[in-house]
Structures are given as C-alpha cells and as structure tokens.
Amino acid sequence: MNFKKGLRDGVPVALGYFSVSVAFGLIAVEAGCTGLEAVIISLTNLTSAGQFAGVTVMAHMGTYLEMALTQFVINSRYALMAVSLSQKVDDAFKGGWRVLLGFGITDELFAVAIGQEEKVTKEYFAGLISLPIIGWSAGTLCGAVLGNIMPQIATNALGVALYGMFIAVVVPKARENFRVLIVVLIAVAISIALCYIPVFSGISAGFAIIICAVAASAVGAVLFPVKEGE
C-alpha cells in the first residue's frame, strides 16, 4: 500500500472528476466568479455537491448563514466516512496526517480506500487523493476558460458523470460481496422512500443522504456482524 499504488487507483477517479468539474467551472463563471476564483474554490473544497450548491447560494446573494447551513447539511456525510475510514488505516496514519489527508475524503475516494483488503497507509492515501485533486482543479479551470462556448446540452451531460462514476465504484464490490449488495439495496430503498413518500418531503437532500447511509450501515451491522478477528 504505497504512494505509487495510490496514484494508480486514483487515475479513474481523476478522469471522472475532470469531466464533472468542467461543468462546475462553467456554472461558476456564469454565476459571476472569475476563473481564478472558481479554481480556488475547487482547490480548497473538493466537494462537488457542496460547490455547486455554494455557487448557487452566491448567485442568489444568499447570506453567510445560508451558506454555512447548506454546506453543513450537504457535507455532513464526510464526517461519517472519516469515522469509518479511521478504523481502516494503519497505526502510522495518525495525528497531523489525518488532518491533512482528511481533506481528500470524497464519496469515490472513500469507496476506493475502504474497499482495500489491506490497511490503508498514509502514503497510499496521499497518492490516492493527489491526481483527483489535480483533475478536479484542472477541469474547473477548463470549464472557466471555455465559459459559454460549450452548448447547454453538453453541460447537462457532464452533470451526470459523477453519478455514473460512483456507480462504477460501487457495483463491482456489490457483485463480489452479497452483504455489500444487501446494504446497497437497503440504502436505495430508503432513498426512494424519502423521495416519494409525502410525509418525508420536508427532508433535504443532504439529510436524506445521511439518513440512508446511517440506516443502511446500521442494518448491515446487525445482519452481518464482523467478528473481532476479521
């Protein structure tokens, strides 16, 4: 689990991030950001949903409180991922390394790291997040430079790339492991219920993601407990 392996595993994520962040660059510029501001946002955040929502709040002249609450709701899931991943890392991955590299925890990178059979080292995780950060920022720059040159249909198509990439990460593990498949199906079922049952209509998308993750994980822990030796 070295830096080089992390770089290799991060290549597919970096390519996917590049295509998605082009759309963010376009939207950020349309919302009034300069190209430099758009790139700085990507370099300092690395959260697709959070960045798109943040730019929307800025475009509508939202308050700081609105921005803070929006980011808290959308990005709270990363705290859960960090807690889970902290149980997967080796003993040398601690202190300042956790603070520094914790910045790179995203849905896709978490899925790649947590799916490793061995303990995750700080060298591996540093390599894993390096190219995706570059890809995300470079795509943002390209989108900002292109501005309004790209047609709207192309921008809409790029917007679904993130979901396709996440499916590509989850499906292989679900096919290999029946327990993972069950947990994924539970999360999907809860997500559908929160979306279409009227009584849950007041729940925001951010909280819906958290509810799905916590509930599916809890059911998985009860149905498929992992022994201490494993």
The pLDDT tens digits for 81-124 are 888 888 888 888 877 787 877 888 888 888 888 888 788 888 88
Together in a domain, 200 and 89: no
Instruction: Give the chain's residues under pLDDT 70.
Output: 148, 150, 152, 154-166, 169, 204-206, 209-210, 227-230
Using DSSP, state whether 177 is helix, strand or coil: coil
| 88/202 same-domain check | no
pLDDT of residue 134: 92
Q: Are 38 and 93 found together in one domain?
A: yes
Say if residues 146 and 30 touch (Cβ distance below 8 Å): no
Domain-terminating residue out of 119, 148, 170: 170
Residue 19: the pLDDT is 80
Q: State the total domains in the chain.
A: 2
Does one domain contain both 141 and 122? yes
Same domain flag for 183 and 165: no
Give the pLDDT of residue 191.
87
What pLDDT is recorded for position 138?
92
159 shares a domain with 200: no
Query: Do 126 and 163 have their domain in common?
Result: yes
pLDDT given at position 186: 92
The pTM of the full predicted model, rounded to 2 decimals, is 0.66
Task: Give me the residue label for tokens 């192309």.
Answer: 154
209 in the same domain as 96: no
Which residue segment(s) compose the domain that 225 sits in? 177-230
Q: Could you tell me which of 99, 130, 111, 123 has the C-alpha nearest to residue 10?
A: 130
Q: What is the pLDDT of residue 189?
A: 92
The pLDDT of residue 40 is: 92
Contact yes or no for 14/132 (Cβ under 8 A): yes
The closest alpha carbon to 77, from 180, 213, 187, belongs to: 213
Statement to judge: residues 32 and 89 lie in one domain: yes
* Separation between Cα atoms, residue 95 and residue 86, nearest integer Å: 11
Domain check: are 65 and 135 in the same one? Answer: yes
